[in-house]
Amino acid sequence: MLKKYLTAIAILALVLMTASLQAGDVKLTFDHFYDGPAVLDALEKLHKGYPDLTELRSIGKSEEGRDIWLFTINNSATGKDTEKPGIYVDGTIHGNEVQAAEVCLYLAWYLLDTYDSIPVVKEMVDKRAFYIIPVVNVDNRWRFFTDPVSYNIGRSARVPYDDDRDGLADEDAADDIDGDGEILQMRIKDPYGGFKTHPDDPRVMVRTKPYEKGEWRMIGREGIDNDGDGRLNEDGPGYLDMNRNYGFKWQPPYVQGGAGDFPMSAKPTKAVADFILTKPNICFDYAFHNSGGLIVRGPGSKLAGMYSPRDVKVYDFLGGEGEKIIPGYKYIIGGQDMYTTHGDFDEFMYSNMGIYGFVGELFMSEQERYRKPEDEPKGEDDDHSYYGGTPQEERQKFNDFVTQGIMYKDWKKFDHPQFGEIEIGGWRTFTTRIPPAFMLPEMMHRNASLVMFTAKHAPDVTLEVLEVKDLGNNLHRIRVRASNPNALPSLSNKAISKEIVRRDILKIKGSGFEVVSGGIVEDLALDRISNVEHRPWMIFSSVPSFGKTDVQWIVKGKGKAKITYDAIKAKNQSLTLDL
């Protein structure tokens, strides 16, 4: 009987050991792109492997009925997620910016996979909450992998829109007329078309000078005039740009293209905003897009106004460090250094919610180079492609000798039903704004590292007693310091000035004494105190970036005092002392 019992125990131990090993051994690879089903499968594997650290749930449905998945990383053993500083991360608000989802997946996997092996990661996961939505635009990212598309198709939400104002919506999209599964470019012979063949590479077309005759006219994306109005591909699916659909300084479509009929009119936009409203602990957000090699902060337009100097210092520190973490990336101001945007997500987060945030523009197309270091262009005379960085003829050599020709499809003749003889070809779907798969790992790790660097700099407030002084006549002076060694303050200046959320509360409570006065110590050496008028036992304040807040109470009597720090975006703290 004892032998059977011991055997059963051994079997049970083996089963538990196996389950434990499997739980911490989720194998994900990041040398390829995850399509729609694979993204969900990866999230489910991570949740199953780390059930005590994660939560997976849908926050809503898209226009086509797909779930918008939220992946939360939080160690519940160290507290509720809303009791800790929160970091929000999302990707692919534009459906064709597919690699943004990979960065989100990698971040989630790395935090969990290294939780037990890298102490700084363990501390971060224990003290922070991460809210990750890898794919906001679930409809068009899904279709990017299943439908005939190109690198510049599928940006919008699947909300019907009458682009050409003919009373019909979405009736003239691009078409895969040669049936190869991709939407490429079309060109037609035309000596006045403005383009000629590059003398060293027939695949490349260069613009003619004003006095030159050319060879080609670019017709545009592959397709036909479906509605017979004399225009080509002018009314495709959508167009609602979800990053112009948020509710801060939203402007109608005649001002801001793609804005939608009203703010939050896209289902994913509203679902994301509704979720964020339930998590006031979020102190920073990252929204990943796909091209430019940029770390972008607001304001996105003049309508947003200037940011406060205090908040700009926070942005500048994190953006400056980001340029070091991701060499080649530039930290910029969106509306000043890029272009004007209204109703965008990062402005909604900062101006409406008081939350700092960056837009991460991921891929640097200049990495697709084929040159020696000494041949790097010294000025701005290089004939760059539209998406920047590398001349087309050099990019073709990169295609030929680094990716073995998979990025480009040679021009081939085709009998077009409306134009007659044309040629179809050009840069293929997973190119131009998307890196080759072999470039993904470093891009993902460096961007995830910037998120983690920022998470480490979320507010970490600690309390310490500076002084308990007997003033005589049964009076005591108590001075307490709330200090924060990190870059993110407990509240942004925007949140404070616009009273978006309540301020932090420093309180003293106990029996046997009464609070005579209380206030913030403006200057410790000069005893300069800014006293509160009402309820002196409760002081509203905040703790700055790389700084501290000192408070003082004068109490009458004796007893045990409990001092608490109660914050929205930092973990609460308390201490006790005897008078």
The answer to whether residue 557 scores a pLDDT higher than 80 is: yes
The answer to whether residue 8 scores a pLDDT higher than 60 is: no
For position 487, which CATH number holds?
2.60.40.10
The whole-number average pLDDT for the span 492-520 is 96
Task: Quote the pLDDT of residue 437.
Answer: 94
* Residue 248 within any structural domain of the chain: no
* Residue 549 within any structural domain of the chain: yes
* Residue 497 within any structural domain of the chain: yes
95 with 218, same domain: the answer is: no
The whole-number average pLDDT for the span 460-484 is 96
pTM of the model: 0.93
In whole angstroms, give the CA distance from residue 118 to residue 120: 6
498 with 539, same domain: the answer is: yes
Specify the number of domains making up the chain. Answer: 3
In whole angstroms, give the CA distance from residue 25 to residue 43: 14
The pLDDT confidence band at residue 205, using thresholds 50, 70 and 90, is: very high
The pLDDT confidence band at residue 110, using thresholds 50, 70 and 90, is: very high
Name the residue among 142, 146, 137, 155 with its Cα closest to residue 36: 142
358 with 223, same domain: the answer is: no
| 3-class DSSP string for 303-355 | HHCCCCHHHHHHHHHHHHHHHHHCCCCEEEEHHHHHCCCCCCHHHHHHHHHCC
Look at the block and give the residue holding tokens 């007329």: 177
Q: Across all residues in the chain, what is the average pLDDT?
A: 92
The answer to whether residue 386 scores a pLDDT higher than 50 is: no
For position 113, which CATH number holds?
3.40.630.10
The answer to whether residue 377 scores a pLDDT higher than 80 is: no
The whole-number average pLDDT for the span 99-108 is 98
3-state secondary structure at position 100: helix
The pLDDT confidence band at residue 21, using thresholds 50, 70 and 90, is: very low
The answer to whether residue 579 scores a pLDDT higher than 90 is: no
In whole angstroms, give the CA distance from residue 377 to residue 560: 71
Indicate the burial class of 525 (C-beta count within 10 angstroms; 0-12, 13-18, 19 or more): exposed
**How many Cα neighbours within 13 Å face the side chain of 473?**
5
Contact 243, 94 (CB under 8 A): yes
For residue 156, count other CB atoms closer than 10 A to its CB.
26
532 with 411, same domain: the answer is: no
* Residue 406 within any structural domain of the chain: yes
* Residue 250 within any structural domain of the chain: no
C-alpha torsion 391→397→400→403, nearest 10: -70
Task: Quote the pLDDT of residue 381.
Answer: 45
Angle at 504 between CA 499 and CA 505, to 5 degrees: 120
Distant-in-sequence contacts of 414-423, Cβ < 8 A, 24+ apart: 414/177, 414/178, 414/186, 416/177, 416/186, 416/224, 417/177, 417/224, 418/224, 418/225, 419/186, 419/188, 419/219, 420/188, 421/188, 421/189, 422/186, 422/187, 422/188, 422/219, 423/186, 423/187, 423/188
Contact 154, 140 (CB under 8 A): yes
51 with 124, same domain: the answer is: yes
491 with 571, same domain: the answer is: yes
Task: Quote the pLDDT of residue 462.
Answer: 97
* Residue 57 within any structural domain of the chain: yes
The whole-number average pLDDT for the span 401-419 is 97
Amino acid at site 140: N
309 with 397, same domain: the answer is: no
173 with 90, same domain: the answer is: no
491 with 540, same domain: the answer is: yes
The whole-number average pLDDT for the span 444-467 is 97
229 with 375, same domain: the answer is: yes
281 with 350, same domain: the answer is: yes
Query: In this prediction, what percent of the chain has a pLDDT beyond 90?
Result: 89
Amino acid at site 488: L
Strand ranges (E), 335-461: 356-363, 408-416, 420-427
Contact 493, 308 (CB under 8 A): yes
In whole angstroms, give the CA distance from residue 289 to residue 295: 10
Cis, bond preceding 85 (omega within 30 deg of 0): no
The whole-number average pLDDT for the span 246-250 is 96
H runs (alpha helix) in 24-93:
36-49
The pLDDT confidence band at residue 1, using thresholds 50, 70 and 90, is: very low
Q: Kindly report, residue by residue over 136-151, the tens digit of the pLDDT.
A: 999 999 999 999 999 9
The pairing of strands 185-189 and 216-221 is antiparallel
The answer to whether residue 574 scores a pLDDT higher than 50 is: yes
Task: Quote the pLDDT of residue 379.
Answer: 56
Task: Quote the pLDDT of residue 329.
Answer: 97
* Domain coverage including residue 355: 2-143+262-365+437-456
* Residue 402 within any structural domain of the chain: yes
Q: Which two tokens stand for residue 164?
A: 């050409």
The pLDDT confidence band at residue 238, using thresholds 50, 70 and 90, is: confident
The answer to whether residue 2 scores a pLDDT higher than 70 is: no
The whole-number average pLDDT for the span 252-277 is 97
Task: Quote the pLDDT of residue 24.
Answer: 58
The answer to whether residue 20 scores a pLDDT higher than 70 is: no
What radius of gyration, in Å, describes the C-alpha atoms of the chain?
Answer: 29
Question: What Cα–Cα distance (Å) separates residue 252 from each residue in 241, 385, 575?
Answer: 12, 32, 52
The whole-number average pLDDT for the span 212-226 is 94
SS3 content of the chain, % helix, strand, coil (to 5): 30, 30, 45
Q: Kindly report, residue by residue over 299-308, the tens digit of the pLDDT.
A: 999 999 999 9
The pLDDT confidence band at residue 7, using thresholds 50, 70 and 90, is: very low
C-alpha torsion 164→170→171→172, nearest 10: 70
Residue 292: DSSP 8-state: S
The answer to whether residue 380 scores a pLDDT higher than 60 is: no
* Residue 244 within any structural domain of the chain: no
The last residue of one of the domains, among 427, 446, 470, is 427
- Between 16-20, 47-51, 139-143, the lowest mean confidence (pLDDT) is in 16-20
232 or 2, which is more confident: 232
393 with 448, same domain: the answer is: no
